[in-house]
């Protein structure tokens, strides 16, 4: 549900111009500044969504610092580091693709977007293997193996799967958004004069990146 | 008066033919007025449903023990009453219905910034409403956890909690999207010359509300998701058996749900600030103070949430701090009330229906507000926590506050929205019924609560019988009043006389356009030179 809504959000912003055409025969209204403002407000709500989880993380970290310490050692720092590098690189290619389009290099822009999608896919594949390994070790919510452990460790894994899972969902939504942008660049509705949808998708993608920047140390690095 | 529309060219938004026909001309319309009207219909339907459930609760309370339903049904009915009234009626209430309709007109715009997003919000509202109600009929039975979904019971019960939570999540999304739309609209689409301090006070209230919607709602969104995950996978975060802490749920829940009461009341206060100048023919007293008080209520409202949890288990320092902040919110609310009353002073008061609703609001809201101080105070709260006192306080501020102003707004803007007029005498008659019924019903509940009657109980001790009985009678009087009110409006809509462009002598921009407005609102975007109520000061209108 949330993916649809978020897709709609940016689509709305871009189709606003067309909508004005339909409903208001004379009145053509295009306001890129407003679109961007709407997007920033939306990103604020995303931050607060994760903010609730960060508060919970903090509260439980204080309550169960020892158990969190033990549980965190099970996570694979190597995979986490690799994924951090992947996401940072994908953010770079996203930013570069916008500059490329602004300079009129349409093909370069599309290629850069494809590499962003590819890196995002790579991230998800890593995540898949990481989660699978945990499942294989019986480390998932409700498993008999986990229930034998200390309460703090149960909570740690509860937080881990919830937060990385929600983040993963955002990665998927971001990928879908970028695919829409690629399609629209090809069809010409996003071009060097009119790229607010692309910029907003880029902002969304940087947010996904930014949240990971916080998740990574909280789960993988703090022992 | 500015006749903006050429009579021969004039097509109202109600008659406008777009690219869709029939019902789709409404359901797919991105026109803010049509969307506002659809919200209004939805809200009235849900309000009627919620009121029926409330009347059933009161009927059950006529006698001790079983009157018409068993305890489990009672649990389900009060839960559903709460969910419908809060998530489907008073949260969207004034902003989604009247805000959508009048925000663009009052700032001199042709629509909101994101019209299609606006339509999406409406659809999410409807989907959320249908999901919430469908939890009644699906297997597992109607939910029985109370509207606040407290864990751990919300995790353990077998009723349809996940579905209702999902509905609340979708409604939250709808609310967020409306909020960000309004913030952007106010920033970007004000008519030339309309600075922030030349905006009507209703817009200030909507603007403050929109910020709360954007900032507070995501927190309850994630809380809801966590409870759903808890029920599906047992992640343990709120489950004490797995090491989770239910008190943290309460904190996260009230971090949203307390600011949410300001989402409910601030727009109502904005409407009051519009109606009073119109019917007293005076410039509002302390314009800036009222504008700032909206913002400060929105701001301070964030730091008071734990006053819902004084008995849940917190350190004394935390409780004292939250109690202090709770008292601080009373200051901007008081500023508003004094300014309204000061506006009336020496005004030429025309006691039409909308004004009478506002006068009623000031009385009821003041009672609700002052009893709120009893609850904000630590020592007295311990005594009345979780009793009918809280229920009465809440209904005085929310029903006596927000819903009465919803009625006031309905009667104030009805001629503008539909171009028709209702019968004023019957409306006043309905108002008297509502006022008497309301106080009979809820004031007795203050007394019951003070004497120790706990909320949400299906049964009561014999000594409470008389007051419970009186309270239930009050409920029936009020329902009668509401039915008269609705039938009067429906009759006005179908058979009422044609309304003038400006029946009340209002001075904000919506009264400069025809009734009902055209699809574009303005033929020419107005240029603003003065504050909204300036004209009264000049004495240009008697």
Most confident of A141-155, B17-31, B293-307, B432-446: B432-446
pLDDT band at residue B47 using 50, 70 and 90 as cut-offs:
very high
ipTM of the complex: 0.91
Residues of B in contact with A11 (CB under 8 A): 116
Closest Cα of chain A to B258: distance in Å?
15
Q: What is the mean pLDDT of residues B348-361?
A: 95
pLDDT of residue B313: 86
pLDDT of residue A143: 87
Residues 6+ apart with CB under 8 A from A37: B183, B184, B187, B188
Of A149, A201, A167, A187, which is closest to residue A57 (Cα–Cα)?
A167
pLDDT of residue A16: 43
Closest Cα of chain B to A154: distance in Å?
7
Question: What percentage of chain B has pLDDT greater than the value 90?
Answer: 82
Q: CA B179 to CA B172: how far, in whole Å?
A: 10
Domain A34-221 sits in CATH at 1.20.120.80
Q: Is residue B62 part of a domain?
A: yes
pLDDT of residue A14: 42
- The torsion angle over the Cα atoms of residues A171, A172, A178 and A182, rounded to 10 degrees, is 150
Q: Which helix or strand (DSSP H or E) is residue A209 part of?
A: helix A196-216
Q: Are B342 and B285 in contact (CB under 8 A)?
A: yes
| Contact assignment for A59 to B248 by CB distance below 8 Å | yes
Residues of A in contact with B209 (CB under 8 A): none
Q: CA A51 to CA A70: how far, in whole Å?
A: 24
What chain A residue is nearest to B18 in terms of C-alpha separation? A23
Q: Is residue B187 part of a domain?
A: yes
| DSSP per-residue string spanning B462-480 | GGGHHHHHHHHHHHHHHHH
pLDDT of residue A11: 41
Across B6-10, B48-52, B194-198, B458-462, least confident range: B6-10
| Contact assignment for A8 to B113 by CB distance below 8 Å | no
Q: Is residue B367 part of a domain?
A: yes
Closest Cα of chain A to B482: distance in Å?
36
Q: Is residue B21 part of a domain?
A: no
CB atoms within 10 A of CB A103: 11
Q: Is the pLDDT of residue B163 over 70?
A: yes
Q: Is residue B507 part of a domain?
A: yes
Burial A19-36 (b: 16+ CB within 10 A, else e): bbeebbeeeebebbebbb
User: What value does the mean pLDDT of chain B take?
Assistant: 92
To the nearest 10 degrees (0 to 180), the angle between helices A2-23 and A151-187 is: 30
> Coil, strand or helix: which one is A203?
helix
Closest Cα of chain A to B426: distance in Å?
38
Q: CA A121 to CA A175: how far, in whole Å?
A: 8
Q: Give me the average pLDDT of each 10-residue run along chain A (223 residues).
A: 42 42 50 94 96 95 93 92 96 97 95 97 96 92 88 94 96 97 95 93 96 95 84
Q: CA B197 to CA B153: how far, in whole Å?
A: 48
Q: CA B370 to CA B457: how far, in whole Å?
A: 25
pLDDT of residue B323: 94
Residue from A31, A54, A56 whose CB has the most chain B CBs within 10 Å, to mutate: A56
Q: CA B300 to CA B329: how far, in whole Å?
A: 6
Alpha carbon B244 to its chain's center: 34
pLDDT of residue A2: 42
Q: Are B294 and B270 in contact (CB under 8 A)?
A: yes
Distances (CA, A) of B14 to B11, B17, B26, B516: 8, 9, 9, 7
Of B115, B177, B521, which is closest to residue A18 (Cα–Cα)?
B115
List helix spans (H) across B147-245: 153-156, 161-188, 201-233
Q: Is the pLDDT of residue B3 over 60?
A: no
For B243-278, the pLDDT digits (tens) are 999 999 999 999 989 999 999 999 999 999 999 999
Residue from B114, B122, B250 whose CB has the most chain A CBs within 10 Å, to mutate: B114
Tokens of B144: 């029985």
What chain A residue is nearest to B115 in terms of C-alpha separation? A16
| Contact assignment for A37 to B252 by CB distance below 8 Å | no
| Contact assignment for B111 to A20 by CB distance below 8 Å | yes
Of A8, A31, A42, the CB nearest to B120: A8
pLDDT of residue B539: 55
Q: Which helix or strand (DSSP H or E) is residue B361 part of?
A: helix B353-376
Residues of A in contact with B181 (CB under 8 A): 38
pTM recorded for the entire structure: 0.91
What chain B residue is nearest to A28 in terms of C-alpha separation? B110
| Contact assignment for A23 to B237 by CB distance below 8 Å | no
Closest Cα of chain A to B154: distance in Å?
18
Closest Cα of chain A to B189: distance in Å?
9
pLDDT of residue B7: 53
pLDDT of residue B23: 86
Q: CA A153 to CA B436: how far, in whole Å?
A: 58
| Contact assignment for B242 to A45 by CB distance below 8 Å | no
Q: Is the pLDDT of residue B470 over 60?
A: yes
pLDDT of residue B218: 95
CB atoms within 10 A of CB A40: 13
Residues of A in contact with B120 (CB under 8 A): 5, 8, 12
For B479-491, the pLDDT digits (tens) are 999 999 999 999 9
Q: Are B235 and B229 in contact (CB under 8 A)?
A: yes
CB atoms within 10 A of CB B455: 18
Of B77, B270, B256, which is closest to residue A45 (Cα–Cα)?
B256
Tokens of B510: 């919506």
For B124-150, the pLDDT digits (tens) are 999 999 998 888 778 777 888 989 999
Q: Are B108 and B194 in contact (CB under 8 A)?
A: yes
Q: Is residue B195 part of a domain?
A: yes
| Contact assignment for A41 to B245 by CB distance below 8 Å | no
| Contact assignment for B222 to A55 by CB distance below 8 Å | no
| DSSP per-residue string spanning B210-225 | HHHHHHHHHHHHHHHH
pLDDT of residue A28: 54
Beta bridge partners of B518: B12
Q: Is the pLDDT of residue B174 over 80?
A: yes
3-state per-residue secondary structure call for B434-460 = HHHHHHHHHHHHHHHHHHCCECCCCCC
What chain B residue is nearest to A18 in terms of C-alpha separation? B116
Helices (H) and strands (E) in chain B, counts: 19, 0
Tokens of A31: 């306001």
| Contact assignment for B242 to A151 by CB distance below 8 Å | yes
Q: CA B529 to CA A129: how far, in whole Å?
A: 64
Number of domains in chain B: 1
pLDDT of residue B8: 57
User: Which CATH number goes with the domain that contains B142?
Assistant: 1.20.210.10
Q: Is residue B14 part of a domain?
A: no
Closest Cα of chain A to B9: distance in Å?
14
Q: Is residue B23 part of a domain?
A: no
CB atoms within 10 A of CB A18: 12
Tokens of B134: 């469908």
pLDDT of residue A4: 45
Residues of A in contact with B111 (CB under 8 A): 20, 23-24, 29
Q: CA A54 to CA B214: how far, in whole Å?
A: 18
Q: What is the mean pLDDT of residues B507-530?
A: 91
| Contact assignment for A24 to B520 by CB distance below 8 Å | yes
Distances (CA, A) of B502 to B2, B170, B498: 11, 38, 12
Residue from B32, B184, B186 whose CB has the most chain A CBs within 10 Å, to mutate: B184
| Contact assignment for B176 to A45 by CB distance below 8 Å | yes
Residues of A in contact with B107 (CB under 8 A): none
Distances (CA, A) of A60 to A57, A115, B222, B234: 5, 38, 17, 17
| Contact assignment for A63 to B245 by CB distance below 8 Å | yes
Distances (CA, A) of A210 to A46, A88, A114: 11, 9, 20
| DSSP per-residue string spanning A60-91 | HHHHTHHHHHHHHTTS-HHHHHHHHHHHHHHH
pLDDT of residue A8: 43
Domain span including residue B370 = 34-538
Residues of A in contact with B104 (CB under 8 A): none
Closest Cα of chain A to B520: distance in Å?
7
Residue from B116, B125, B155, B228 whose CB has the most chain A CBs within 10 Å, to mutate: B116
| Contact assignment for A142 to B245 by CB distance below 8 Å | no
């Amino acid at each position: 549900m949330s993916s649809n809504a978020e897709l709609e959000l940016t689509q709305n912003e871009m189709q606003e111009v067309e909508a004005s055409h339909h409903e208001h025969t004379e009145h053509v209204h295009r306001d890129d500044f407003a679109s961007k403002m709407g997007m920033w407000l939306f990103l604020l709500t995303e931050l607060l969504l994760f903010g609730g989880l960060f508060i919970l993380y903090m509260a439980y970290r204080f309550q169960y610092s020892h158990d969190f310490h033990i549980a965190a050692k099970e996570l694979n720092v190597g995979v986490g580091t690799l994924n951090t590098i992947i996401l940072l690189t994908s953010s770079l290619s996203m930013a570069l693709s916008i500059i490329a389009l602004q300079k009129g290099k349409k093909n370069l822009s599309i290629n850069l977007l494809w590499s962003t999608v590819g890196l995002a896919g790579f991230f998800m594949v890593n995540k898949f293997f990481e989660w699978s390994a945990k499942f294989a070790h019986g480390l998932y919510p409700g498993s008999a193996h986990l229930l034998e452990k200390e309460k703090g460790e149960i909570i740690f894994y509860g937080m881990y799967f919830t937060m990385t899972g929600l983040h993963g969902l955002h990665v998927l939504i971001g990928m879908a958004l970028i695919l829409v942008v690629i399609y629209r660049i090809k069809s010409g509705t996003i071009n060097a004069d009119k790229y607010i949808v692309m910029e907003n998708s880029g902002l969304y993608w940087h947010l996904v990146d930014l949240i990971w920047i916080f998740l990574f140390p909280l789960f993988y690095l703090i022992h | 008066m500015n006749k903006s529309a050429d009579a021969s060219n004039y097509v109202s938004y109600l008659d406008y033919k777009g690219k869709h026909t029939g019902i789709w001309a409404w359901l797919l319309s991105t026109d803010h007025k049509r969307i506002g009207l659809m919200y209004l219909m939805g809200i009235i339907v849900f309000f009627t449903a919620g009121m029926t459930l409330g009347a059933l609760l009161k009927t059950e309370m006529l006698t001790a023990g079983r009157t018409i339903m068993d305890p489990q049904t009672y649990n389900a009915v009060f839960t559903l009453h709460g969910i419908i009234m809060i998530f489907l009626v008073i949260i969207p209430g004034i902003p989604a219905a009247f805000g959508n309709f009048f925000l663009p007109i009052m700032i001199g715009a042709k629509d909101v910034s994101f019209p299609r997003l606006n339509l999406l919000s409406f659809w999410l509202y409807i989907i959320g409403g249908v999901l919430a109600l469908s939890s009644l009929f699906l297997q597992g039975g109607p939910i029985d956890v109370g509207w606040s979904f407290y864990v751990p019971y919300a995790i353990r019960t077998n009723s349809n909690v996940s579905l209702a939570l999902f509905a609340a999540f979708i409604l939250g999304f709808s609310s967020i999207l409306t909020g960000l739309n309004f913030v952007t609209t106010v920033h970007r689409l004000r008519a030339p010359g309309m600075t922030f301090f030349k905006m009507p006070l209703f817009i200030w209230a909507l603007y403050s509300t929109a910020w709360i919607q954007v900032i507070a709602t995501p927190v309850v969104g994630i809380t809801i998701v966590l409870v759903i995950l808890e029920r599906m996978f047992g992640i343990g975060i709120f489950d004490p058996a797995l090491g989770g802490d239910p008190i943290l749920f309460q904190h996260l829940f009230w971090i949203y749900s307390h600011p949410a009461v300001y989402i409910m009341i601030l727009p109502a206060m904005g409407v009051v600030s519009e109606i009073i100048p119109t019917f007293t023919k005076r410039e509002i007293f302390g314009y800036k103070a009222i504008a700032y008080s909206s913002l400060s209520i929105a701001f301070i409202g964030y730091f008071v949430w734990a006053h819902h949890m004084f008995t849940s288990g917190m350190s004394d320092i935390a409780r004292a701090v939250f109690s202090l902040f709770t008292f601080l919110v009373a200051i901007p609310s008081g500023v508003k009330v004094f300014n309204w009353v000061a506006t009336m002073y020496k005004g030429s008061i025309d006691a039409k229906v909308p004004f009478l609703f506002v006068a009623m609001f000031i009385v009821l809201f003041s009672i609700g507000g002052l009893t709120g101080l009893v609850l904000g105070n630590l020592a007295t709260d311990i005594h009345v926590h979780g009793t009918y006192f809280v229920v009465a306080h809440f209904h005085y501020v929310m029903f006596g506050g927000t819903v009465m102003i919803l009625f006031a707004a309905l009667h104030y803007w009805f001629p503008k929205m539909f171009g028709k007029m209702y019968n004023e005498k019957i409306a006043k008659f309905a108002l008297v019924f509502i006022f008497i019924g309301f106080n009979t019903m809820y004031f007795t509940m203050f007394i019951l609560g003070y004497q120790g009657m706990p909320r949400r109980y299906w049964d009561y001790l014999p000594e409470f019988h008389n007051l419970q009985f009186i309270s239930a009678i009050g409920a029936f009087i009020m329902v009668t009043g509401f039915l008269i009110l609705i039938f009067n409006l429906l009759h006005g809509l179908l058979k009422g006389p044609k309304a003038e462009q400006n029946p009340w002598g209002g001075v904000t921009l919506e009264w400069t356009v025809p009734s009902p407005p055209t699809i574009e609102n303005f033929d020419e975007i107005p240029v603003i030179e003065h504050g909204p109520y300036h004209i009264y000061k000049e004495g240009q209108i008697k």
